[in-house]
Structure formats: structure tokens, C-alpha cells
Structure 1
Amino acid sequence: MSGASKHFILAAGGTGGHLSPAFALAQELHQRGHKVELITDSRGAAIPGKPDFMPAHVLPAGRFGKNPLKWPKAILAVLKGRRMALRLIDSFAPTAIVGFGGYPAMPALLAARGAGVPSVIHEQNAVLGRVNRLLARGVNAIATAYPKVNRLQPRFTDKVHLVGNPVRAEVLSLRDEPFPDLTADGLVRVLVTGGSQGAHVLSEVVPDGLAMLPNALRNRLQVTQQCRPEDLEAVRQRYANHGIAAELGTYFEDMHLRLSDAHIFIGRAGASTIAELTAVGRPAILVPLPIATDDHQSANVREMVEAGGARSIRQPAFTSKELAKQIQALAQKPETLANAAHAAWNCGRPDAAQKLADLVESFGASPIQDVIRVTSKKPAAIGEALPSGGAA
């Protein structure tokens, strides 16, 4: 516990990419003796992994898509969410509000500015997201996961802090474990995932790509692959036809342990995926999602590829033949894979949660002022911050 207890509000969009670092920061702040509450949308409130000590408040948040005719409705939703967030601020008296991107973060950060509460945004990707771009001018600090972030204006340089992307404690605990033993004739364990929903292109390409490897390498493969439910049986049949040992599933609860055992990772290039690969130190073949906003997944792979810890293949070029070529280049010798693993490990920022917590702790009143301000509030007011059904 660092000083007197403070209150923090974390605001994040309803995807794992936004919420995973928020949960990691919440755990760190909680360990330091602070109180934390979450603002998100209905999707976010249902995502597994939220710490039990952190109440979740569901606020309306309009999405500003390409159709201007829908913007008035989105604006009204944001304004309604801002009013609700102001009521939560009044009752909870936060020291600071931290936004992790996504439209549900917007009402909370607009409310923070209106209430004079310090605010911080955290950008998980190597491209500043839409909501964070809109809010960047009005926040006190911008925390980034990468040294270079596209679409981050130079005029904000003075308030940019490189902290990394916080990852789950169970993944972080694997950082000091050695790369799995790999002998010239031992098993080569391959982990394939495509994000929370899987990726159809991986189901199409990976089995046939692995089958193109020389027999001496192919016969040593042990594959774990996450698939979409509708792809599961077809992929299972492909591996059986190729005589490749494979365990398939739509979801693996022990994914961190599978990552720990893996020699090669094949998958998408989401921010959380990159953070976990570099935290543990695993060589990867990454296929950026082509429809990702501002092509941010292609930017996410930049640091890891330049370091030698990963190969990146654009989806149009992601064929079975190209995959086999890249795997051969990585796995031709045990030391080649081990060197790539070390390069990936060097890109990790294992103290991201601590650095982000240090940053948000640095804002707000002195500890004694915080205690006076918080204890002057009526405890019952927190429950009144949202209308009935607003807290998840």
C-alpha cells in the first residue's frame, strides 16, 4: 500500500483488448490499497476476468460510424453517459480516471474533464485509436504500449509516457521460465490462435502449411489450435489426413500454460497477443487482421519483427506454401528458435502495470486531501450513481 487509499475509475470498451489491461491495472491498484470501479458497456460487463473487488457500471455510449445520419443518436447516448458518469464522480470522488479506448470510455473521460478530475488514456496499439485521438488534447497524460505510435500528434509529446501493455498475472509469472527444451529430434509444439473468436483463415491455411514441411520436421509437430465452432470438424479432419498430432478447441482456459509450452506461435497481432508473447518470450508468425481499424495490427508487429522475434505475413500473402517457408526458416535449428524467443523476450515490458499505476497515482490531491474529500461523501451515494440496472 502506497500512502493513503485513493479512488480510481477505469473506463474501457467492451472487448478483451481494452479490458485486459484495465483488469491488470485494477489488480495493481488494489494491491496498493486503492479502491477501483469500472465503467464499460454491456459486452464489457459480461467478459470473464473482472476482479471481484471492482464494481462495474454500464453506461450508454454511442458509436460514430460512417453514416452521419446515425451521429445524432450517438451524441445523445454520449451525453446521457456523461451525465451518469458525473453522478458516479460526485459519489465516488475519484483521484483520477483512466481510459483504455473504445467508445464506452468517452462519456467517462468527458465527465472527468467537466468535473476537473485528472485523466489518463492508455493506448494498447501502435496506432492511436479513434476515441483516444478525440480525447488526447483534454487528458493529463497519454500512456503508450510502444515507443512509436502512429497518429499521435507531436504536440502531445510532453505528456506521453511509454509504459507497455499490462498483461495477466498468470502470464507474467512465466517470464523468468526458460524457453522449452528443443532438441534436434524432440517435439516441436505449435500454438495457433486467432483472437477470442478464432480466425477462419488460420483454419484454412495452417494445417496444409504444416503438412508441407519436410517429414523430419512434420513428424515432430504437436499442434494446439483454437478454431471457430463451425471450422472445428473440418480442421480436425485435415490434421488427421496429414497425420499431424493436433488438439483442437474453441476455447482453452489454460491458454497461458499452453503458451508456456509452445515453441512457435501462429496467430493474429492484437495488442494483448503481442504483449503476452513478449512477456513470455515466444517466437511467432503473425498475420495482422486486414480489417483492423487504421491497420493497427500491422503496426503492432513492427517492434517484434525488427527485433527478430517474429515474422509478419500479410493475409493476402498468407498461403500454406509461405507459412511452411517461414516455419522452416525459424525452426531449421534449435538455436534459431531460441534466439528468436530471446529477441521476443527483450521486447517485453513486464512492469507495465506498475508503471501505469505509478503514473495514475501521481495525479490528484495530496493523500490527506483525498481522505478528507472521500470521507466527506455519503457512502450511500455510490449506489445512486447509476439508475436501477446500471451496475453489473
Structure 2
Amino acid sequence: MKRLAITTGGTGGHIFPALAVAQALRVMHPGLEVAFVGGHGPEAVLARKAGLRFVSLPAKGVFGRGLRGFAEGVLSTRAIIMAMGFYRTFRPDLVAGFGGYASFFPVVAARLLGIPTALHEQNSVPGVTNKLLGKIVSRVFVTYPDEAGVFPAGKTVHTGNPVRHDIAAMWQAPAKDDAGSRNVLVLGGSQGAQAINTAVLAALPRLLDSGIKVTIQTGRADFERVAEAAGETSEARRAAGRAEPGELAIENFIEDMAAAYAWADLIIARSGASTLAEITSAKKPAILIPFPFATHDHQTVNASFMAKAGAAVVIDQKRLDPASLADLVLNLFDHPERLSAMALAAGKLAAPRAAETIAHELSALAASRTCTGGRS
């Protein structure tokens, strides 16, 4: 393989798996040229930070948005023409889509040109975009078993969800030896989660009074609100002479997630597929609060896999309140044997070599094109 185009966008949950596979392929194929084809989300910054060429195409959500979505879809079809023009000059051996509406037109353009195509579905319940693309691509990779038979069985491979290399490496790392630490890492995904942030803020006094250290990744949009409220909490504690023993850190975005996972003893998070893949690779117990407005409520389904395995406790956002959240956190830390069992269960759900597995499959797919004279 000499040239690869990957396409996705919108959130880190789609982007990081794509970057993980690109990294694995560059190790397998030194000198591989990788172009990241995306929309107008955070993908441009993340792709360039990873040293990848970035190509921006117009992309908007089309499906499930009525007439407005249809109109925007008609306008966005020019993305097919633009993508085809780029592929004719870049000449990729393969185009791989990693979900989200930003991948739809670039994958369709590749299929029209006879370039081998592949798709990765992260979630337990595929969205409309991937359901459609699954019918035309050469290979489909899935995070969860396709028990509903959404994709053609003959071209579907159960791989798990790729995670960044440094996080995947945590699966083989020895267990944390800081006995007695009580560190809670709060994550809402790359975009943050206001409902979780609000509940944790209200629970902070009890958590900090119990000696628990808390780090909250707020998401950039909610950072100022959370930082201000946390500052007021800290000031009130100092005024009351209760600044210790707990500690609090507020971050809008955590760059070194591997270090954050290594520090944590318990995760409070949404249940996007990439978040769960990272939690299981890091072998961490979790309290999961699924985003209730996710398409097809897929986050609840995702979380149920963790809960059934004993790796997580799931809280419906409608039932999320600070008192019960604090009770649960404190109860878990009061029963370290339960946290250890949850961590062990999380590790059993991990797929730390998902990126390499997909990379090998893509390499074979690209090689088959060469053997057949360029036909997909």
C-alpha cells in the first residue's frame, strides 16, 4: 500500500479510531501517504497534529432531517465531485470511512471510481449513513457483534474499536500499585457533557470531604461555567477551613489521555463507543451516564454491554442526581474488591489490537486490488 485516504469527522469518537488505524498502517508500510478527508469539525486540527494531509469537503447531515436535510444533501453532492477530483490526482489504493455524515460522500466517490472501500462501525446500533455505505463497501469492520445482521455477513469482520496507541498499550501494563488512592476522572467525550458536569459539581463537597481527588474534562463549551462554579466551591471550602483532603482539577480538554487514565481509579463518563474502548483498554471501572438523545439511543445499548459484563454501573440521565451519584462513588471506594472486579471485567471486553487488525485487513484489501488490475 502506497496511498490511503481515510474519511470521517464531527467528534473525537469518530476521529481517534481513524487516526489509530492510520498510525498502525504507517508502521506496517513505511512511506505510506495518508490523506484525511473530512468536513469542518475538529478533524482538521487533529489530522494535521498527527502529521496527516487534510482535505476539506463540504459535508452536512442529510438523513433524518426532513426537507432541510434533503436540500443540504443536494448541495453537498458537490462533495462527491470534489472527492473524485482529489482521488484522481492522489490515486489512493483504498478509501476507509470511520462513520459520521462527513464520510458518506467521500466513500461514495471512491466506489464510483472503482477504488476499494471499507467502513468501520463503532456503535452497537448503526446509523443511517453506515447502513447505506455498508451495502456498497468492500469490507465492514464492527466494534460489537452484528447480531441484528445489519451488514452483509460475508464482508463483515468483528474487530473492536481502535484506540490510540498509548492507550492500547495500557492493556498490558501492570495494575496500578497506588493502594488506597481515590481518584475520579470525569469525561463527557470530546464535546463535554453539561448534565454530568452539573451533577458532579453539586456532588463535589461530599466527594472532596471524603478525600477523593476529582479531575473533570469539561469540554471547551462548558469550561468557563464549570471552572467558575468549581472555584466558588473551592473558595467556600477554604473559608470553612475544609480545603483538604480532596483535590480538584478542571480541564477543558486533556491532551495526554493515557496519563489521565493511568491516574484514575474510577471513571464517570458518557458511553460513546470510543470512550468505552479506551476505558476497557485502560482496564478501569466506570459509572456510565448515556447521552439520552444519541441516534437510536445507541449509547444506552453500548453501556449495556459494559453493565452486563460487570464492568460498569449505568445511570439513566433522568435519574441522575448529585446525592445518589456521590453515594455511588463513595460506596464503590468503600468496596475496593468490587472496583477490582469491575476493572478485571473491563479488561476482558477490550480489543487493544483493533487498530492492527483493521490495518492488516485493509492491507489485504488493497493488495487484492493490485492483483485484479485495479478493480474493487
Q: TM-score, normalised by structure 2?
A: 0.88
In structure 2, how many angstroms separate the alpha carbons of the residues matched to 1:166 and 1:200?
A: 27
> Residue 111 of structure 1: CA displacement?
1.2
Q: 1:72 to 1:219 in 2, by over 3 A?
A: closer
Q: Could you tell me whether the CA contact under 8 Å between 1:122 and 1:144 is conserved in 2?
A: yes
- 2:277 is aligned with 1:286: no
Cross-structure match for 2:225: 230
Cross-structure match for 2:200: 206
Residue identity matched to 1:37:
A
Q: Could you tell me whether the CA contact under 8 Å between 1:62 and 1:77 is conserved in 2?
A: no
Q: Could you tell me whether the CA contact under 8 Å between 2:270 and 2:291 is conserved in 1?
A: yes
Deviations 1:55-110 (A, max 9, x none): 11111223225553324532333321111111222222222211111112111111
Q: Decide which of 23, 36, 55 is 1:57's aligned counterpart.
A: 55
Q: 1:16 to 1:52 in 2, by over 3 A?
A: closer
- 2:166 is aligned with 1:164: no
Residue identity matched to 1:174:
M
In structure 1, how many angstroms separate the alpha carbons of the residues matched to 2:368 and 2:181?
A: 56
Alignment map for 1:324-363 (pairs within 5 Å): 324-363=326-365
Cross-structure match for 1:189: 183
Number of residue equivalences? 361
> Residue 245 of structure 1: CA displacement?
2.1
In structure 1, how many angstroms separate the alpha carbons of the residues matched to 2:64 and 2:338?
A: 46
In structure 1, how many angstroms separate the alpha carbons of the residues matched to 2:233 and 2:164?
A: 33
Q: Could you tell me whether the CA contact under 8 Å between 1:207 and 1:239 is conserved in 2?
A: no
Q: Decide which of 302, 321, 324 is 1:322's aligned counterpart.
A: 324
> Residue 253 of structure 1: CA displacement?
2.5
> Residue 149 of structure 1: CA displacement?
6.2
Gaps of 5+ in 2: none
Alignment map for 1:1-392 (pairs within 5 Å): 5-33=1-29, 34-48=32-46, 50=48, 52-64=50-62, 66-148=64-146, 152-153=149-150, 156-181=152-177, 183=179, 186-209=180-203, 211-212=205-206, 218-227=209-218, 228=222, 229-238=224-233, 241=236, 243=242, 244-366=246-368
Deviations 1:282-336 (A, max 9, x none): 0000101111111111111122211111111010011123213432442223222
Higher relative contact order (CA 8 A, sep 6+): 1
Q: 1:295 to 1:224 in 2, by over 3 A?
A: same
> Residue 369 of structure 1: CA displacement?
5.7
Q: 1:105 to 1:49 in 2, by over 3 A?
A: closer
In structure 2, how many angstroms separate the alpha carbons of the residues matched to 1:211 and 1:365?
A: 59
Q: Could you tell me whether the CA contact under 8 Å between 1:125 and 1:149 is conserved in 2?
A: no
Identify the range of structure 1 (88-97 vs 158-167) with the bigger mean alpha-carbon deviation. 88-97
Q: What secondary structure sits across from 2:365 in the alignment?
A: coil
Q: What secondary structure sits across from 1:9 in the alignment?
A: strand
Gaps of 5+ in 1: 374-392
In structure 1, how many angstroms separate the alpha carbons of the residues matched to 2:66 and 2:285?
A: 43
Q: What secondary structure sits across from 1:139 in the alignment?
A: coil
> Residue 350 of structure 1: CA displacement?
0.4
Deviations 1:322-374 (A, max 9, x none): 2134324422232221121111111110000011111111214558669x97x
Q: Could you tell me whether the CA contact under 8 Å between 2:217 and 2:252 is conserved in 1?
A: yes
> Residue 201 of structure 1: CA displacement?
1.7
Q: 1:114 to 1:256 in 2, by over 3 A?
A: same
Q: TM-score, normalised by structure 1?
A: 0.84
Q: Could you tell me whether the CA contact under 8 Å between 2:39 and 2:58 is conserved in 1?
A: yes
After superposition, the CA RMSD in angstroms is 2.4
In structure 2, how many angstroms separate the alpha carbons of the residues matched to 1:268 and 1:366?
A: 39
Residue identity matched to 1:247:
A
Deviations 1:167-192 (A, max 9, x none): 11221232222332354xx3311111
In structure 2, how many angstroms separate the alpha carbons of the residues matched to 1:300 and 1:115?
A: 35
In structure 1, how many angstroms separate the alpha carbons of the residues matched to 2:343 and 2:235?
A: 29
Residue identity matched to 2:82:
M
